[in-house]
Structure 1
Amino acid sequence: MKRVLSKRVLLGILMLCITMGFLFAQPLPEQANELVILATTDIHGNVWGFSYENDKETNNNGMARIATYVEQVRATHPNVILVDNGDTIQGNIMTDDLYNKREGEHPVMRAMNLLEYDSMTLGNHEFNFGEDLIKRIQELANFPVLSANMSRVDGTMAAMPYTIVERAGVKVGIIGLTNPNAPRWDGEKTDPFVYAPVGPAARRAVDILADKVDVLVVVAHVGLYPEYDVDGGSDGGLAILELCPEIDVLIVGHAHTTIAEVQNTIAIGGAKNLGREVIRIDLSLDENKQVDGREVTIVDMADYEPSELIRGNDFIKEAHQATRDFISGGAPSADGSTSGGIFGTAAVDFQPKNEIMGIPEGKLRDTAVMDLINEVQLLNSGADVSAAALFADTSDIPKGPINYGTIFGIYKFDNTLYRVPVTGAELKAYMEWSAACYNQWKPGDISISFNPDKPGYLYDMFSGVDYEIDLSKPVGQRIKNVMFKGKPLSDTQNLTLAVNNYRYSSALKAQKLVSGVREWESPNSIRDMLVAYIKEKGTIYPKVDNNWKIVGVNLDSPYRNEVIKMVNEGKLEVPYGKSLNINELKKQGIIK
């Protein structure tokens, strides 16, 4: 017997079907329509927010402040993703002299785990300490460590290329890319690995993820613009944008510059170093989980107090205090030796005061700080000539007691020393490469300025030879009157050069300035050599042999003192990347 359904039952079934259909086809819940991506980059080991070289708290940086901001965002937004863009585990005395050289736990990785990062991209400085530290990072991290453009020399995967994170039903693919110039800077420490251009590597990863995720994020440890491969773009974010137009977010780093922009619907963010800024990307999604709105904000950490999540952690507190004790002489280094506490005295300040605010005198003339570094390099290497850079414009050995922090202040990298055979012609080519850091002088200039495309750490000063730098000449024609032991240096003369391992790889070899290979490498760091030298001397006095000078400039003007006073009083912009020029200042009506 057939059973006939009443109209009321049929209507009920129809309504139920409509309701069920609505449940299955309804748009994302309101909280899933918003996604916040927070990104850090180039923290360089700054967990606490502290300057170990001068034993002072900082007021605008460090992971402890980042933690406060992240906690606040998570408290008000349910869908937050936190990523890091590398150069994270190197950069201060705590990391470089203690925990990067020890087995076991690491304060930076502990802080990242406490903050519950979703990923970390390997930066070039992660390779400063070789393959063992890379493996240790991967073992300690409670999150994936990424590098889609790096593999082992045998073709096997050296790090995860990407990860997929889900928030409220939205799948987010995160692709990590390492700076392919790492071998240029770290030489044999990168021998176990092969690096590919960032653009094609990103394209391959995007092709894999495209039908698996709703949102695509690329976290690349390169600047937006190419650094060395200007034509090919293999080391710049622009190649990623060109080859992967469907990505939603690009995080860049390495250049330590603030970037907040949107290009063709792609949100792009970059931040300053040391945890001074956090990149924030706010994305809105439509009912199909497609990004339909984006906003980039760079958040200054000066507005945030340090979090007890980081500073209250027992291990991090111990690591922080151990670093301070190491500097003061109360704790051993990774190899068991002590830093010696106060191991010497500077009779007076070694670095001259700047005439113009923000323009380092240490790069305008020979100074005692540079002569000390080069003297120590010559003594330890037995080389004929030495080259070294003033890594920070503020580097000095101030009058008074000297401890390890003082040495870190003038030599912040854990470099070793090489002795390399060179010809006179090769040495001059290297000197020309260095002198390209200056801008060319032009009539009316009353100050010397620096090429903004050439960071100051690329400017080497030389001992063992006398020479002049003619800034009236263009790049490549500036080095004049090079003398060795009182005689003109011939192009065919054979010499030996003392230079650090970074410069050997990144300039002498990468730029093909020198054909010879290193014939000696120091068993210890240049910092250790400086410590030993000062310990032996006890009290050190500034010595300047004035073996080099800048020529081809005329900085005289009746207006000079007036203009410099305006700069020093903050009324004119510091002329670092562009010289003060009287003719231009007159045209602008600044002087009359």
Structure 2
Amino acid sequence: MKHFRLYYTSDIHGYLLPTDDIQTGAQPLGLANAATHFQKDAQTLIIDGGDMFQGSPMLQYLQQHPAQDAVATAMNLAGYDYVTLGNHDFNFGYAALQQHLSHLDATVIAENVTDLNGKTLYPAQIKTFGDGTRVGLIGLVTDYINIWEQPAHLKGIKIAAPLDQAQQTVAYLREHADVVIGIYHGGYERDLATGQRLSDTTENIAWQLTQVLDLDILLTAHQHGDVPPQMINGVLTLQLPNQAKKFALVTGQKQQDHWQFAAETKPVGDIARPDIVTALAPLQQQVESWLDQPIATLNAAIPAVDPLQMAQFGHPILQWLASVQLAASQADVTLVSLNNNPMSLPVNVTLRQILQNYPFDNTLVTKRITGRALRDSLEHTADYFILATGQPAINPAWFKPKVEHYNYDLVYGLHYTFDLTHPVGQRVTTLQFKGRDVQDDETLTIAMNSYRAVGGGNYPAYQQAPIVLHDQRPVQELLISYFQKHNQLPKAPKLSLTLKY
């Protein structure tokens, strides 16, 4: 009987060991824990769906103190056969990514990453197993990289539309392979239960891929959703949470000329592969010492509050971020985004807490924006709220298919009002700068993180606004530098947001 087995991970984001570098003690996550479950033989593949080389404190440390290629070390020990690329893998430029890939034993498949002439750089593959089974594998990555990434980081390459690039290749794989599997670093644009469309952008098109491409299996990524295996348009599909908290096991068996597929997603558990732990132990000790370096001593700890409260009333940590961004940019106003992580500070602040409260590799961008564009953007922000029994609550759409507190902005430097009794698109009822109404045709300078500046979070007006200044220093560095001049958190600027309901 012909058969195969594959193990799948995605969105590891550099979490290689069983720690998130925030909580103490070992946690059930990390590539070393996932790899404990991998059983390799002639009928088995190990595959990753991208976002390998960015995200963890360990990788941030290695950006500043190059030592070993930790991701390649761990993945090679784990025995990965194929990987596709994620959008964050391009964050430090294609040249840096090529260096990482040169250290990997795995074959890279990313069909829609092409040269400037449109020739794919990481073509689809056909793997022939020991029993003669041929499995076709095509990797794809969201083309929203073109929106998010700095053009210099994509020098010499193009990210083509996944569907356009894939159709002819999948047809070839179907003709020459027994089974065709897609690995897509992108997520679902529809609710999988109802089919309701959740997004009209091309960031996530997994549902469409199952409709159009002649696939047997589609392994997705990017949204960090815990999506159990299920059939969509006749294609078996699934998705995993980030930080290697889970892995997927997919099997196929041919019975009476028909292939039957099964899959399950499993927690990685508490046991780490000893060889990976040993290989990374010296580096992890360096990372721990780096994270524990003292930054500041506060008069009092800053407790965490829930996102709904922060979205209405702000928070001392958000005020600190606003102060830092305004000082660095000299802009009229600044945007400060929420965070999916709980935001708090102990009395004794170390680098670990800085990275916990601001985990993004963002820089600071100042743009010139019209009053009209700012108002339109804030209307999208106001969609974060709904009214539930007459009280503000978070719109469930901001939790599905991915939790997106980080796409909610507070504006410091303006007085503004969201009237939640009005429909979205008519909620911004007050917009004032220095005590006067902001007119549609006037302009303000506005500082924001680099993700928002390219329209991330569905803010096209920010993307289209002209750049006044791009500060290349990481925002994390600006936050650390603040304490070189100040020994406590700032008392200004004050948030001036009113919610009516």
Change (3 A) 1:238 1:264: closer
- Give the 3-state SS of the residue equivalent to 2:394 in structure 1: coil
Alignment of 1:132-171 (within 5 A): 132-162=95-125, 164-171=127-134
Distance 2:19 2:367 in 1: 37
Change (3 A) 1:514 1:310: closer
Is the 8 Å Cα contact of residues 455 and 463 (structure 2) preserved in structure 1? no
- Give the 3-state SS of the residue equivalent to 1:250 in structure 2: strand
Q: Counterpart of 1:342?
A: 294
Deviates more, 1:268-277 or 1:256-265: 256-265
Give the alignment partner of residue 366 of structure 1, picking from 289, 306, 314. 314
- Give the 3-state SS of the residue equivalent to 1:155 in structure 2: coil
Distance 2:67 2:85 in 1: 19
Is 1:488 the counterpart of 2:437? The answer is yes
Deviations 1:406-442 (A, max 9, x none): 1111111111111111122222222222222222x25
Q: CA deviation at 1:494?
A: 2.2
Give the alignment partner of residue 308 of structure 1, picking from 274, 281, 299. 274
- Give the 3-state SS of the residue equivalent to 1:285 in structure 2: strand
* Superposition RMSD in Å: 2.5
Is the 8 Å Cα contact of residues 257 and 271 (structure 1) preserved in structure 2? yes
Q: Counterpart of 1:430?
A: 377
Distance 1:274 1:78 in 2: 28
Distance 1:300 1:182 in 2: 30
Q: CA deviation at 1:378?
A: 0.4
Change (3 A) 1:452 1:343: same
Q: Counterpart of 2:34?
A: 66
Q: Counterpart of 2:176?
A: 212
Distance 1:43 1:187 in 2: 23
Change (3 A) 1:125 1:145: same
Is 1:243 the counterpart of 2:212? The answer is yes
Deviates more, 1:541-550 or 1:56-65: 541-550
Is the 8 Å Cα contact of residues 262 and 296 (structure 1) preserved in structure 2? no
Q: CA deviation at 1:78?
A: 5.5
Q: Counterpart of 2:358?
A: 411
Q: CA deviation at 1:34?
A: 3.0
- Give the 3-state SS of the residue equivalent to 1:325 in structure 2: helix
Distance 2:201 2:255 in 1: 37
Which amino acid letter does the alignment assign opposite residue 484 of structure 2?
Answer: K
Which amino acid letter does the alignment assign opposite residue 311 of structure 1?
Answer: V
Distance 1:232 1:383 in 2: 30
Which amino acid letter does the alignment assign opposite residue 256 of structure 1?
Answer: H
Return the TM-score normalized by structure 1.
0.77
Is the 8 Å Cα contact of residues 347 and 540 (structure 1) preserved in structure 2? no
Change (3 A) 1:514 1:67: closer
Q: Counterpart of 2:45?
A: 81
Give the alignment partner of residue 470 of structure 2, picking from 496, 517, 521. 521
Is the 8 Å Cα contact of residues 430 and 508 (structure 1) preserved in structure 2? no
Alignment of 1:423-572 (within 5 A): 423-439=370-386, 441=387, 444-453=389-398, 455-507=404-456, 511-513=460-462, 515-540=464-489, 545-552=494-501
Instruction: List alignment gaps of at least 5 residues for structure 1.
Output: 1-27, 329-340, 553-592
How many residue pairs end up in the alignment?
A: 490
Distance 1:413 1:448 in 2: 26
Q: CA deviation at 1:352?
A: 5.2
Is the 8 Å Cα contact of residues 179 and 235 (structure 1) preserved in structure 2? yes
Q: Counterpart of 1:21?
A: none
Distance 1:420 1:183 in 2: 19
Distance 2:233 2:374 in 1: 47
Is the 8 Å Cα contact of residues 136 and 180 (structure 2) preserved in structure 1? yes
Is 1:173 the counterpart of 2:136? The answer is yes
Deviates more, 1:164-173 or 1:408-417: 164-173
Q: CA deviation at 1:543?
A: 5.4
Is the 8 Å Cα contact of residues 135 and 180 (structure 2) preserved in structure 1? yes
Q: Counterpart of 2:286?
A: 322
Which amino acid letter does the alignment assign opposite residue 282 of structure 1?
Answer: T
Q: CA deviation at 1:137?
A: 2.3
Deviates more, 1:404-413 or 1:430-439: 430-439
The percent of aligned pairs where both chains have the same amino acid is: 21
Distance 2:126 2:221 in 1: 19
- Give the 3-state SS of the residue equivalent to 1:377 in structure 2: helix
Is the 8 Å Cα contact of residues 87 and 141 (structure 2) preserved in structure 1? yes
Is the 8 Å Cα contact of residues 100 and 129 (structure 1) preserved in structure 2? no
Deviations 1:155-211 (A, max 9, x none): 343333445353432122211001111122223233543223323323222122223
Is the 8 Å Cα contact of residues 384 and 464 (structure 1) preserved in structure 2? yes
Q: CA deviation at 1:265?
A: 4.8
Return the TM-score normalized by structure 2.
0.91
Q: Counterpart of 2:7?
A: 38
Is the 8 Å Cα contact of residues 253 and 271 (structure 1) preserved in structure 2? yes
Look at both structures and tell me which one has the larger radius of gyration over its CA atoms. Answer: 1
Instruction: List alignment gaps of at least 5 residues for structure 2.
Output: 192-196
Is the 8 Å Cα contact of residues 362 and 393 (structure 1) preserved in structure 2? no
Which amino acid letter does the alignment assign opposite residue 452 of structure 1?
Answer: A
Q: Counterpart of 1:588?
A: none
Deviations 1:52-100 (A, max 9, x none): 2x36234221111101111xx44xx7522110001121111111x2324
Q: CA deviation at 1:233?
A: 5.8
Is the 8 Å Cα contact of residues 49 and 61 (structure 1) preserved in structure 2? yes
